[in-house]
Structure 1
């Protein structure tokens, strides 16, 4: 069902908008401009906030090319024959009003998306924790539309990351059956900073989707106090973490491997930072003040890409 809804919202609806712009029977130039505005805002919204880790990241660019071509076709062939304003008939006015109402509704999340890249405070600079490959941010940004962690104090600026493989997809198979089908599975995770381990979670099994462990949301994790923040790296593979509380680590040290432990929908790496030195589990995960993070000078939001792909 999830894949079906993604196909409808990410592929079918954009095509409907593009066809409407180029071949729809607009009653006036104002009507046509409302179609164009709807298509533009919708494409902007799904390009930034869409779940492209499921479908590959190339579709939005194809849609933009299609919209430009469709609009150019209408401009050359039909626009000059249309009146500027619609005739004052109930059907025409209702149609235009409906378009404007939908556009207004789309502008609300679109505005949130545009503000997602503003961290709102000075980010803490960290090293990118994934050692090789190309990765796409699945959740991230200072926006409830872009980041499902947004409403949790400690995880307000958290990111979830997957690895991209062929065609920009996150899996080697269209319908993954085993954990090894996911590109990020077992990827080495490095310490994003130098500091002291304040808390560790180990021994939890890796779940095969769609199963998850709601009783242990972070799964196997490592928390490192470095400078003014404590950084949490979660959903690590069972048996990959050998650190203990009080251990010292240097930036770049191997701390574990990506797994699928805890309350995780699929293998990915979760990272968030909280203010101060925090060792209590509930504070780490829920209650402490979340801090924005910068990796190589970038505050990452959903669909940002880091690194270069290595095909295997």
Structure 2
């Protein structure tokens, strides 16, 4: 979808012979809202984070080239039944993709007060695969306890999360075995450390968190869960007090997970609590360097 769909719409804008400026305008608007939607909501870590900027460049080029072809046409003309049908399709698509973009705008903001944490990973470019206050950007959003959860990946120099599209070898994922640090001063309230790391696409729905550390941070009454850690890597104990930046263990692929990543969320009384890093509320496609 991140390649074929934008390619089709940009090619149509570039190649189609329009009968009026109205047809061109509707086609252009549909293409713009489609590209903007995919730019923000697509998970670009699969084919390359920086690849998404190529579509913006091609969109600008197609817009300029097509305008040169239609600038002398009338704004409206007498339309055949097929042309009227096409205009109707443009209007429907504009409403659909426009609505998607409106939902995405919502995902960037929260009304609730968030918990400020220190980012728990270092030495790399980290990518938010799931995050935000809307289910189109963050599938966790439909689960009350994980409403503001983040799934974090690490990008290589090509802007992808792994060597290959979906490798089974865990070490081909850039984030696998990365050191994981405490995001706050606090106390360890629970750990799990003996579950296996599974080769994708295997998962363990019986133990959804996998190996994990649960923290109760100072000055907050919400618990922080860091999940899917590497088997045997956890170096803190239940009841231990920890400092911000203290190593907790390593990122793994245990539990109900599709591939190596860090899952982190804050929860209070069964409800998700927003978390921020340096006052940033992270959403899908956010980068932390």
TM over 0.5: yes
| 1:66–1:266 CA distance, 2 compared to 1 (3 A) | same
Number of residues of Structure 1 aligned to a counterpart in Structure 2: 287
Which secondary structure state, in structure 1, belongs to the residue aligned with residue 59 of structure 2? helix
Residue 174 of structure 1 and its aligned partner are, at CA, apart by 4.2
Is 1:294 the equivalent of 2:287?
no
Contact residue 186 and residue 237 of structure 1 kept, 8 A: yes
Contact residue 219 and residue 236 of structure 1 kept, 8 A: yes
Residue 200 of structure 1 and its aligned partner are, at CA, apart by 1.2
Which secondary structure state, in structure 1, belongs to the residue aligned with residue 78 of structure 2? coil
Kindly provide the CA deviation profile for residues 134-169 of structure 1, in whole angstroms up to 9, marking residues without a partner as x. 110000000010001001111100000000002101
Partners of 1:42 and 1:106 in 2: CA distance = 6
Is 1:30 the equivalent of 2:22?
yes
Question: 2:149 maps to which residue?
Answer: 158
Contact residue 117 and residue 301 of structure 1 kept, 8 A: yes
Which secondary structure state, in structure 1, belongs to the residue aligned with residue 140 of structure 2? coil
Question: 2:164 maps to which residue?
Answer: 173
Question: 2:8 maps to which residue?
Answer: 16
Question: 1:128 maps to which residue?
Answer: 119
Kindly provide the CA deviation profile for residues 229-285 of structure 1, in whole angstroms up to 9, marking residues without a partner as x. 21110000000013232111111000010000000000000000012xxxxxxxxxx
Give me the TM-score of the superposition, normalised by structure 1: 0.89
Kindly provide the CA deviation profile for residues 1-33 of structure 1, in whole angstroms up to 9, marking residues without a partner as x. xxxxxxxx1112111111211221222111111
Partners of 2:126 and 2:42 in 1: CA distance = 16
Is 1:266 the equivalent of 2:226?
no
Question: 1:230 maps to which residue?
Answer: 223
Partners of 2:102 and 2:166 in 1: CA distance = 34
Partners of 1:230 and 1:122 in 2: CA distance = 15
Root mean square deviation of aligned Cα: 1.2
Kindly provide the CA deviation profile for residues 24-68 of structure 1, in whole angstroms up to 9, marking residues without a partner as x. 122211111111111111111111110101011122211111111
Kindly provide the CA deviation profile for residues 56-93 of structure 1, in whole angstroms up to 9, marking residues without a partner as x. 112221111111111111222x1133221142421111
Matches within 5 A, 1:75-224: 75-76=67-68, 78-224=69-215
Give me the TM-score of the superposition, normalised by structure 2: 0.96
Q: Which of 105-114 and 39-48 deviates more?
A: 105-114
Partners of 1:101 and 1:172 in 2: CA distance = 39
Which secondary structure state, in structure 1, belongs to the residue aligned with residue 282 of structure 2? coil
Unmatched segments (≥5 aa) in structure 1: 1-8, 276-286, 308-312
Structure 1 runs (4+) deviating above 3 angstroms are none
